Chains A and B, each alone.
Chain A
Amino acid sequence: MRLDDPLKRVLFVDLSKRRFWIEERRELFEATLGGSGAAIRLLDEFCPEGAGALSPDNPIIFAVGPLVGFYPLASKTVAMFKSPHTGNLGESHAGGRSAVAIRMAGYGAIVILGRSEMPIYLVIGDGQVAFRDASALWGTRSSYTTGDVLAKRESGRGNRTIMRIGRAGEQQVSYACVITETFRHFGRLGLGAVFGSKQLKAIVIEGQRNLAPDDRKAYRQTYDTIYQRATQSELMQKYHELGTPMNVLPLDAIGALPTRNLQSGRFEGAEAISGERLAADYLGRRIACAHCPVACIHIAALRIPYPNDPYFYKTVMLGYDHEPIYAVGSMLGIQDVSGMLQVMDEVEIQGLDVMSAGVALAWATEALGQGLIGETETDGLPLQFGGAETYIEAIKRIVSQPTLFYKALAQGVDHAASLYGGQDFALAFGGNEMPGYHTGPGCHAGYLTGARHSHLDSAGYGLDQDAAKAGRTLEPEGVAAQLIEEERWRQVLTSLVICLFARKVYELPLILDALAAIGSERTEADLEHLGTEILREKHAFKRREGFDFAELRIPRRILETPAPAGDFDAAFIRETLHHYADLLRG
């Protein structure tokens, strides 16, 4: 790292004392690159052991990496915190303009401490932090309004990020998200609730500066190589054209699309909610994160007539991806596309993680059907698969929490099922609700072992699909080895920080060239070692906060619903966990 690279600067903001200061942490960024690697060390340093996730003791860390601001597709910010949803590691990544804005404001990381005495929002610039009154914004019905108001009120259009929470964050729903640039999210594990607990409604970050490469010629050459690979090759085509919803039909075809709370892996409405159909009938705009030419963000234009007022319509613009389509489409049995999009819109308005919200409602629907709960619990709502309008009302109640049942559901499906039963079909892994893949033991073992219990940790669905295609049988030892190898490498990618969608663009030699051109010489062995270290540090934090592989719950439903990679049992998964834990220890 060059001496003049501002990445080494860490901004600290103490909400309790309304103070801020900047520390130079050069050695931290030299050792870890940045991103996930820097964030886990800062979390370990500033989160006291056993701290309440919603207490002032829980810090919020944002970190970017050396490639951000220099190269395309290096467009993500890593957020770390203690998760109010799982009680251990909270890690969530978002794009939009967040990463570029943090880098251009002259920081490698931002650490937010304490708790404000009143609702506030922060305006962060290069060497400046303003603490602004957000009491009038607190309680606003829609998260969209907060974004619109701050966009108008604050300066820096085009050079800023506006991170904000909705009412779900204010109410500390444990899977509330933080929204940035309207269509991107720090979605998983409850960062929104941590914002809410600190009375932090939003953060605006703005900046623009130059970054000096070490070798100007090599910098421009490497840039061009990356840019060409991203725009001229087939590598990003999937994200570029239909976007992630191109997964819907292929997953349905192999029986891996979780449907009606995973009672099935096939959905008769898959065609209706497919990426192809959405593109044909609803795609209204495509947009990009800052410094990403791919533009994977697909925005639907949904025209809704006023029922009793002819010639009046409203047009809603909302982002769609595979995961939201799975979570509130197939998982809730909704094949009416307009209804599905309206459910998604309500999730956005409230500021919830759409994946957790969909899975929680799917479980609640089945629990109601089985009589584990009644309409007293659901506040009179007859939850039924396919019933979009009822789900919209239920989403509002997860946030307003009129009954004890909704209070429980607002803490996730694991928690709700521990009180009301139905754990066999409560689809959470390590406390986090499942993603939209039921491909076989690889994906489920990945959800359990992954440090953030996400499909993005280790892409186990890839192992299952490869095995199914080749007619191979998976073995626990092999699954564990492949999961950990992938997860280790991804620690490097998320420390640089590049978008994981661009992982095939950024092959190892290109990463080494990109780093060398900006004055950061590394070897393949350095990076491999770093990936192993970061993953180990994340698990050390998880263990410190009570995580134990032996206590992981395996929902019986995943063993009963046929998956494309073939049948597997709980023993297979347990054995995979065992091997994974061994490999982690090294």
Chain B
Amino acid sequence: MPASSPPPPRPPLASTMLAQLRPACTALIALTAITGVLYPVGMTLVARALFPRQANGSLLRDPHGEVRGSLLIGQPFTGPRWFHSRPSATGETPYDPTASGGSNLGPTNPALATLVADRAAAVSKDNATHTGTIPIDLVTASGSGLDPHISPAAALLQVPRVAAARGLAEQTLQGLLDRHVEPAVFGILGCPRVNVLQLNLALESLSGVNAPGPSRASAPPPP
């Protein structure tokens, strides 16, 4: 054996680890202060100064300042007088922002097929004059359960029903709808879509708040 100096004895692992305890705790406390306190607090202050509307949830207010909802969070709509949102799978209550989530039904789960068939039947029943196909978004639940949008086709399908229920001309509603279609970003990213809450709020102001229904129409639309 060559006469080389023996390697220095390795310290026991326990003491190696113990030696790291103080730096670990200090680093953790310092990082908690920086990334856990300074970072979110600083971001909130800057965000509030630069983008107050967005930072607080893009809330939609009526002229009296009452909050009607958030531009980004969908709401459920029933009855013939409103454009309907997509189905929602947020637990017992649809569109519940405290329980966001999807149905998680598998693609081959018979329950999904049944549900979609039932929803399609309901859409056909609600929109009796509609004879074409039903857009898929109107019969499936979104991932968040809070999807504020439907496709333009899904909104168009509902125009005759809403027009009849509110006693408005279909052209008026179509014009309103056209103004509410958001195109894909740069024409490429995402899908063209209609914000249902925004559309319904516009509808509400069009027909006057708390319009009782068709009887209110003073000038019946031309046939």
Partners in one complex: no
Instruction: List residues of A whose CB falls within 8 A of some B CB.
Output: none
